[in-house]
Amino acid sequence: MDKKILKKSLKLFTVFFRIGAFTFGGGYAMIPYIEREIVDKNKWIKSEEIIDIFAIVQSVPGVIAVNSSTFVGYRIAGLTGSIAATLGVVLPSYIIIAVIALFLYNFKEYPLVNEAFHGIQAGVAALMCYVVYKLGKSSIKNGYGAVLAAASFLALTVFGASAVLVLLAAGVLSLTAFALHSRKAGKGEER
C-alpha cells in the first residue's frame, strides 16, 4: 500500500475520531466541526465543495456524520481513507456508549448529571442554529431559493410532510423553474 495514502488515512482517522469523540448532538451538530477540520485546517476540500458534499450525504440513507466521513475519506485517500474516516467517526460513540452502559444506572439519579445533559442539549441547539445559518447562507442564492426553503420548512414542521416527498417536490420544482428560465432566456436570444 502507498505510504502517502496510509499517512492520509491515519490523519483522516484521527481527525474524525476527534470529531466523533468531542461532538454531542449527532450528525448535524458535527457539520461545523467537519467543515472546520476538512476545509479550514487541513484544506483537503474547498468551501464550495463541502456544501455539495453535505447536500449529497443528506440525500442518501444513513447518518450524516458517517456518510460525510465516508465520502470525504474516499475523496481524499480512496477506499482506505473512507474506511479510516468512517471508523474514526463511529468508534468514539461505541466506546462512550459502552462505558456509559456500565455506569449509567449508578449515576442517572444524580441531579448534577441531569443538569449537565440539559446544558449539553442547549449547546447542541445553538450548534444546530449555526448549521442552519451557515448552510442557508451558502445555499440560498435568490428569492426563489428562499421561498422554496421556507415552503419546505413549513411543509416539514407545520404539516408533518415526509422529508422524502419534500425533497422530491423541491427537486421537481427546481428543475421546472430551471427549464422555464432556460426556455425564456432562449426566446430572448432568438429576437
69 touches 16 (CB < 8 A): yes
| DSSP string over 161-173 | --HHHHHHHHHHH
Name the one residue in this structure whose C-alpha cell is 476540500.
45
For residue range 92-123, what is the model confidence (pLDDT) as tens digits? 988 988 887 777 667 767 788 778 878 888 88
| Alpha helices, H only, the chain | 3-22, 27-35, 47-58, 64-107, 111-139, 143-157, 163-190
CA distance 11 to 131: 25
CA distance 90 to 110: 28
pLDDT of 29 strictly over 80: no
For residue range 144-188, what is the model confidence (pLDDT) as tens digits? 889 999 999 999 999 999 988 998 999 999 899 889 888 887 776
DSSP state of 59: T
Lowest mean pLDDT among 2-11, 67-76, 92-101, 175-184: 92-101
pLDDT of residue 188: 62
pLDDT of 189 strictly over 70: no
Question: Sign of torsion, CA 126 127 129 133?
Answer: positive
